[in-house]
C-alpha cells in the first residue's frame, strides 16, 4: 500500500528546502548514505581529526532519544539519524543542526511491528539516504518512506512486509531516480529455518520511484538465505550495474529492469558486511556458517562461480563490519579485533594485528588514515598502507555499533545515547 502526500504547499516547501540545502552543500563534502557518497567508506576530505577524547576536540555532543544503530548521514548543514522509541513501535527520523548539534525536528515516520532480532541489532538499524531534497528510510518491518528535509512525510510504501530471524539491518541506496532496497529475510511461518538455514526463493530487490513511492521493478534472487547487505553500483563496459549479495550468492542485476544477469555462489547465511568494489572486483563475505572472503570479477552471464572468483580466503572473515578498499589495498576488521591489510588484486596478506575490543562498525578512510571504531567507543586510527602503524587511540567510553560519517572536516560518531561531532566546528 502506497500513500502519497499531494499537498501543493508541502511540495513547494520541499523544493524550497532543497534549494536552501543544496546551496549550502554546493562546495561541501556530504555523507548522504551508508558508508558515504560511493558506499565505500571513503572520504576525499583533508584535515580530518586524528586525536580526540570525550572532552577534547569535540565540537558538540547531543543526546539521541530512543535506540537505533543507523549511521549518521550528513547533507549541507543537517545531520540525520533514525531511532526507535516505545519499545520499538515508534520509528522516527531525527534532524540535527550540523554546526550546533541542536535537534531541529524529531518526526515519527511509522508505527512499526517489532519482532525477532539479534541481541546487538536494533529496531532502527537501517541507515537512511538523502538526495538533499528528501530523506529515505526503511523501517524494521519493511515500511519505506520519503521525508522532506523539514520533517514532512511525503510518501510511504507498505507493499513489502519484512520479517527475519535476525531483524532488519539493510540500508537503501539511490541511483538516479530510483530508491533501491534489498529484502533478504526469512519465513515467519511454522518453520523458522526456512530462508535462514534452508534456502528459499522469496528474497527480492525492489526499485522504487524516489519521487512517488511507486514500484518500478523487482529483482528476483532465486534460492538464497538471510542477509543484511546494502547493494552497490559498479560500471561494466560503460554500463552501470547493480551488484547485491545475500546468503549463498553474489549477483549482478540490470538497473533498468531488475533482471538478474549473473550469480556467483558464496555459501553462508546472515551476511552483514556490505560489498566494496575495486580492481575490477567485487569483494564480498559470506556471513556465518561457511565463512569466506571472495573477490568476484564482474561481468559474465548466468552462473559464473567457476570462472569469475579471482581469489578467496577463509581466514579472519569479518561477519559484521564491511571491508574497506583503498587502492591497491583491502583493509578489514573482524568482530574480535583482528585488523588486516591485503593486496586487493590477489588477497596476499601484508599485515595482521589485533587491536583489542569488539567491533561492529565499518571502518572509514580519510586523508591517508583508516579509522576503526570499537563497540566500547575507542577509535583506533592507523596509517593506511602496507605497514601497520597506529597513530592514535581515541576513547569515548560509550557503546558504539554505528559506522562513523565524515563530512566537512568533522567525524560524526553515534553512540548508544549520544551523537558526537568530532573536530573543530565549521
pLDDT digits (tens, 9 = 90+) for 370-402: 999 999 999 999 999 999 999 999 999 999 999
Please say if the pLDDT value at position 52 is more than 90. Answer: yes
Please say if the pLDDT value at position 22 is more than 60. Answer: no
Q: Where do the structural domains in the chain lie, given as residue ranges?
A: 2-422
Sorted by sequence, the CB contacts under 8 Å of residue 265 that are 6+ apart come out as 248, 249, 303, 305
Please give the Cα distance from 78 to 72 (Å, whole number): 10
Cβ 160 vs Cβ 4: under 8 Å: no
DSSP for 185-210 reads ----SS-TTBTTTB-BS--EEEEEET
Give the mean model confidence (pLDDT) for residues 55-64. Answer: 98
Determine what percent of the chain is predicted with pLDDT higher than 90: 89
pLDDT tier, 24 (very low <50, low <70, confident <90, very high otherwise): very low
DSSP for 235-271 reads EETTEEEEEEEEBEEEEEEETTT--EEEEEEE--BSB
Please give the Cα distance from 95 to 181 (Å, whole number): 22
In this structure, how many other beta carbons lie within 10 angstroms of the beta carbon of residue 116? 13
pLDDT digits (tens, 9 = 90+) for 76-134: 999 999 999 999 999 999 999 999 999 999 999 999 999 989 989 999 999 999 999 99
Burial 364-374 (b: 16+ CB within 10 A, else e): bbbeebbbbbb
Give the mean model confidence (pLDDT) for residues 201-218. Answer: 98
Please say if the pLDDT value at position 9 is more than 90. Answer: no
Element (H, E) at 307: helix 305-308
Q: What's phi and psi for 307, nearest 5 deg?
A: -115, -20
Fold of 2-422: Methylamine Dehydrogenase; Chain H (2.130.10)
pLDDT digits (tens, 9 = 90+) for 251-264: 999 999 999 999 99
When mean pLDDT is compared across 20-34, 131-145, 284-298, the lowest value belongs to 20-34
| Length of the chain (residues) | 426
Q: What's phi and psi for 14, nearest 5 deg?
A: -60, -45
Give the mean model confidence (pLDDT) for residues 262-291. Answer: 95
Question: Which of the two residues, 18 and 150, has the higher pLDDT score?
Answer: 150
pLDDT digits (tens, 9 = 90+) for 313-348: 999 999 999 999 999 999 999 999 999 999 999 999
In this structure, how many other beta carbons lie within 10 angstroms of the beta carbon of residue 7? 11
- pTM value is 0.93
Q: Which pLDDT does position 237 carry in this prediction? A: 83
Amino acid at each position: 500500500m502506497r500513500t502519497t502526500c499531494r499537498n501543493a504547499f508541502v511540495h513547494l516547501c520541499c523544493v524550497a528546502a532543497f534549494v536552501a540545502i543544496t546551496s549550502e552543500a554546493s562546495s561541501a563534502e556530504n555523507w548522504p548514505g551508508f558508508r558515504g557518497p560511493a558506499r565505500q567508506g571513503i572520504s576525499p576530505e583533508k584535515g580530518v581529526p586524528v586525536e580526540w577524547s570525550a572532552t577534547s576536540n569535540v565540537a558538540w555532543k547531543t543526546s539521541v532519544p530512543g535506540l537505533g544503530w543507523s549511521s549518521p548521514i550528513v547533507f549541507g548543514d543537517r545531520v540525520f539519524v533514525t531511532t526507535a522509541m516505545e519499545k520499538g513501535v515508534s520509528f522516527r527520523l531525527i534532524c540535527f543542526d550540523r554546526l550546533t548539534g541542536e535537534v531541529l525536528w524529531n518526526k515519527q515516520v511509522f508505527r512499526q511491528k517489532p519482532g525477532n532480532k539479534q541481541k546487538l541489532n536494533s529496531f532502527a538499524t537501517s541507515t537512511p539516504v538523502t538526495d538533499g531534497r528528501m530523506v529515505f528510510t526503511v523501517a524494521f518491518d519493511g515500511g519505506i518512506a520519503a521525508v522532506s528535509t523539514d520533517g514532512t512525510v511525503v510518501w510511504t510504501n507498505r507493499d513489502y512486509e519484512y520479517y527475519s530471524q535476525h531483524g532488519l539491518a539493510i540500508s537503501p541506496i539511490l541511483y538516479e531516480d530510483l530508491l533501491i532496497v534489498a529484502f533478504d529475510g526469512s519465513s515467519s511461518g511454522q518453520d523458522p529455518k526456512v530462508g535462514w538455514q534452508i534456502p528459499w526463493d522469496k528474497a527480492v530487490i525492489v526499485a522504487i520511484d524516489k519521487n512517488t513511492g511507486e514500484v518500478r521493478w523487482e529483482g528476483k534472487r532465486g534460492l538464497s538465505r538471510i542477509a543484511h547487505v546494502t547493494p552497490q553500483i559498479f560500471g561494466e563496459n560503460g554500463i552501470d550495474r547493480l551488484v547485491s549479495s545475500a546468503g549463498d550468492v553474489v549477483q549482478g542485476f540490470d538497473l533498468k529492469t531488475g533482471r538478474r544477469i549473473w550469480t556467483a555462489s558464496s555459501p553462508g547465511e546472515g551476511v552483514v558486511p556490505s560489498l566494496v568494489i575495486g580492481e575490477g572486483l567485487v569483494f564480498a563475505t559470506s556471513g556465518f556458517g561457511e565463512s569466506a572472503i571472495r573477490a568476484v570479477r564482474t561481468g559474465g552471464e548466468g552462473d559464473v562461480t567457476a570462472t569469475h572468483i579471482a581469489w578467496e580466503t577463509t581466514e579472519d572473515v569479518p561477519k559484521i563490519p564491511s571491508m574497506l578498499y583503498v587502492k591497491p589495498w583491502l583493509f578489514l576488521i573482524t568482530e574480535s579485533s583482528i585488523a588486516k591489510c591485503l593486496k586487493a588484486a590477489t588477497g596476499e596478506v601484508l599485515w595482521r594485528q589485533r587491536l583489542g575490543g569488539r567491533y561492529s562498525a565499518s571502518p572509514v578512510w580519510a586523508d591517508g588514515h583508516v579509522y576503526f571504531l570499537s563497540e566500547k567507543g575507542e577509535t583506533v586510527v592507523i596509517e593506511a598502507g602496507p605497514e601497520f602503524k597506529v597513530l592514535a587511540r581515541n576513547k569515548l567510553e560509550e557503546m558504539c555499533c554505528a559506522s562513523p560519517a565524515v563530512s566537512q572536516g568533522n567525524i560524526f560518531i553515534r553512540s548508544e545515547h549520544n551523537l558526537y561531532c568530532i573536530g573543530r566546528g565549521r
